[in-house]
Each structure stands twice: as structure tokens, then as C-alpha cells.
């Protein structure tokens, strides 16, 4: 089997991930598989990693060697010279650390399903959380039940407190603030067992750290939020009479390649922005 060169995966049409996202995906999938199989090393690593959620990279020495920096270094070294010159290792380390530790917080106590799932962008995950509340589940913000319980319109109701939390992530002016606000949302997603694409989030957090990239990330989050209804309708249409989806899924339960590219489709050549 011939491996696709990394340079081709970064520059060809339909490219889905940059080196930070690829490192996050590889590292998290490895840990996720071990955690769900109850392997002691993976369980211990996840427990330590979640203590770093919302903290800066290298702030906790006990996490050294656990956040996937080795994978990131290997992938960065394989970049073409021009892209390697634009690559910022400090930003990349911060983005990878934050994505991996947030995933560990999200995966905690969930042995039955993957909390890292391709194609589940932040905006879509927040919309799924609103939908969960609209079905009459307990309100994760204040412990009350939705007033739209049982209503046909419940699934597309905009929950204003949750919408404001989502907006606050985009209005953050520092990585520390973004980290804390993402941690709040991830805690809510964890409560309702709603997955998130942490490879996509890692790439976005890398881009977010540059002025030009930040605007692109905000647009991607907003677009993902507003297109979530269309994704939902597509999924519902694909469910057969037996209640199973006709979309192929990978070994980790992720959507197939054609479904996972949606949130990434508008991204240009990888780089922190000018």
C-alpha cells in the first residue's frame, strides 16, 4: 500500500487536515481506543490529561510526553520547505495541547462511545446540544426542562443562554480565555454525550492564533452552526427502515470521508495567516 505524501494531503483539493489536526487525530484515536478498552496506561493518561484542560502547553510537567508533540514534530518535519517556513511550532504546540486535553475531559467516563468524531465541528456540536435540550432533556445550564418538550419545532429551537456561551468563545481576545470558554462548552457536551471533531478544533485553534486566521475560524464556527440543520436533515434522510444510517463509518465510528470534509471545505492552504 502506498502512503499519500503529506505535501499532497495539504495542497490537493478537498484537503481535510493540517499537521496539527493530523497529530491530534492520530494521538487521540490511539488514546481513545485504549481508554474504551480499559487499558491501564490509556486510562491513566486520560486522567492526567484532563487536568490540563484550559491550561497552557508545558505548564504541567506531568503532561510532558502525553499530548502528542512527538507526532506533531514528525509531521512538521515532512512539510514542504515553503510551508515549513510558515509553520509556527509555538502556536502548534498550544493548539495541540488544548485540543488533546479538552478531548480527555470530554471522554471522561464515556467508555461506550467516541467523543472525538470526524465531521462534528464546534458549531454543529452546540446545535446538537440545543437539540438535546429541545427534546425535553434536563437543561445543562440551569437544571430546568425545556418549554418546547414534545414540540415538532423543538429540535431547531435556539437556546439563548447556550447561544451566548457559543458567541463568547468567538469574542475571546486571548488563548487563555478561549481555553476556559471552550472548557465550559465541552463540559456540557460531555454531559449529553455529544461528540466533537478534535482534529478540526486543533487546526482551528492553530489558525485562531493569528489575526487573519482568527477571522476565518470565526466564520467557520458560525457557518457550521447555521448549517447544522441541513446536516441533520441529510442524516435523517439516510436512516433506513431498520433505523440504521446508510452512511459508512470508520473504525472509530466517524463519518466517511465525503461527510467529514464539510467543516473543512472552505479552508485554503495551511498556514497561520499573514
The pLDDT of 180-193, averaged and rounded, is: 96
Lowest mean pLDDT among 1-10, 36-45, 196-205: 1-10
- Angle between helix 211-226 and 228-238 (nearest 10): 50
The pLDDT of 13-26, averaged and rounded, is: 81
Percent of the chain with pLDDT over 70: 70
Give the largest CA-CA distance in the chain: 57
Predicted confidence (pLDDT) per residue in 20-46, tens digit: 999 999 999 999 999 999 999 999 999
CATH architecture of residue range(s) 16-236: Orthogonal Bundle (1.10)
Q: Which pLDDT does position 107 carry in this prediction? A: 97
Are the C-beta atoms of residues 113 and 253 closer than 8 Å to each other?
A: yes
Predicted confidence (pLDDT) per residue in 131-184, tens digit: 987 765 444 444 444 444 445 455 567 889 999 999 999 999 999 999 999 999
Q: 232: pLDDT confidence band, cut at 50, 70 and 90?
A: low
Q: Which pLDDT does position 58 carry in this prediction? A: 84
Q: 235: pLDDT confidence band, cut at 50, 70 and 90?
A: low
| Segments in the chain forming alpha helices (H) | 6-11, 19-36, 40-50, 69-77, 81-86, 89-107, 122-134, 160-171, 175-191, 198-208, 211-226, 228-238, 257-260
Domain limits, the chain: 16-236
Q: Which pLDDT does position 228 carry in this prediction? A: 84
Amino acid at each position: 500500500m502506498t502512503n499519500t505524501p503529506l505535501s499532497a494531503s495539504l495542497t490537493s483539493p478537498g484537503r481535510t487536515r493540517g499537521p496539527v489536526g493530523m497529530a491530534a487525530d492520530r494521538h487521540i484515536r490511539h488514546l481513545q481506543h485504549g481508554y474504551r478498552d480499559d487499558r491501564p496506561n490509556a486510562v491513566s493518561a486520560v486522567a492526567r490529561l484532563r487536568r490540563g484542560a484550559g491550561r497552557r502547553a508545558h505548564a504541567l510537567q506531568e503532561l510532558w510526553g502525553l499530548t502528542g508533540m512527538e507526532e506533531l514534530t514528525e509531521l512538521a518535519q515532512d512539510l514542504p520547505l515553503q510551508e515549513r517556513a510558515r509553520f509556527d511550532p509555538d502556536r502548534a504546540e498550544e493548539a495541540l495541547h488544548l485540543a488533546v486535553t479538552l478531548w480527555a475531559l470530554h471522554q471522561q467516563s464515556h467508555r461506550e462511545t467516541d467523543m472525538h468524531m470526524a465531521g462534528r465541528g464546534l458549531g454543529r456540536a452546540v446545535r446538537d446540544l440545543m437539540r438535546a435540550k429541545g427534546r425535553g432533556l434536563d437543561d445543562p445550564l440551569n437544571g430546568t426542562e425545556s418549554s418546547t418538550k414534545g414540540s415538532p419545532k423543538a429540535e431547531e429551537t435556539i437556546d439563548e443562554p447556550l447561544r451566548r456561551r457559543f458567541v463568547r468563545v468567538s469574542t475571546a481576545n486571548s488563548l487563555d480565555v478561549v481555553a476556559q470558554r471552550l472548557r465550559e462548552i465541552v463540559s456540557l457536551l460531555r454531559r449529553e454525550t455529544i461528540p466533537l471533531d478534535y482534529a478540526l478544533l486543533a487546526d482551528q485553534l492553530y489558525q485562531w492564533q493569528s489575526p487573519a486566521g482568527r477571522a476565518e475560524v470565526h466564520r467557520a464556527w458560525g457557518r457550521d452552526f447555521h448549517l447544522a440543520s441541513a446536516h441533520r436533515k441529510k442524516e435523517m434522510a439516510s436512516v433506513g427502515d431498520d433505523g440504521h444510517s446508510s452512511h459508512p463509518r470508520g473504525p472509530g465510528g466517524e463519518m466517511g470521508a465525503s461527510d467529514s470534509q464539510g467543516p473543512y471545505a472552505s479552508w485554503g492552504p495551511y498556514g497561520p495567516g499573514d
